[in-house]
Amino acid sequence: MAENVAVTTVEDVIARAEPAYQRWLGSITDDVSIENDVLLYGPDTLCERNATFEVARYAPGYLMIGDDGGGNGFLIPCVGGVGPVFRVGLGSLLEDDFVVVATTFEAWEADGFAVPPDR
């Protein structure tokens, strides 16, 4: 469970994200589409999507880094250190509904951003 961290901007949240994610985000300029329907947000889309889905309000301490085009978002905790990548329905954003996709962003990247099938 991510702790409630008072942040005012997406940039503040990114600053607390896993270093591997920060490096990856710094290496891209636009959204990245993966063959398995994963869309990872580039810097411009990242801010807009987090604002649109009010992630700071409904999932404080998390950053939505992408989606699957089917109503699910991918979130990472942003409380410092490393943590899991989660998938959650965008109509929910409740921690009880989070499903672990990978143990860390770095592990997810190394696995080609594979997504386990829905349960």
Residue 3: pLDDT above 80? no
Q: Is the pLDDT of residue 5 over 80?
A: no
Q: How sure is the predictor about 119, in pLDDT bands with cuts at 50, 70 and 90?
A: low
User: Does residue 5 lie in a domain region?
Assistant: no
Domain count, the chain: 1
DSSP 95: G
* Whole-angstrom distance, CA of residue 36 vs CA of residue 67: 11
Residue 39 forms part of a structural domain = yes
User: In this predicted model, what pLDDT tens digit does every residue of 48-86 receive, in sequence order?
Assistant: 999 999 998 999 989 999 999 999 999 999 987 789 999
User: What is the Cα–Cα distance from 19 to 21, expressed in whole angstroms?
Assistant: 5
Question: Where in the sequence is the domain holding 54, given as residue range(s)?
Answer: 10-110
Please state, rounded to an integer, the average pLDDT across all residues of the chain.
89
Q: Is residue 77 part of a domain?
A: yes
For residue 49, the domain's CATH number is 3.40.1580.10
Contact of 75 with 90, CB cutoff 8 Å = no
Lowest-confidence segment of 2-16, 23-37, 55-69, 99-113 by average pLDDT: 2-16
Can you give the pTM of this predicted structure?
0.88
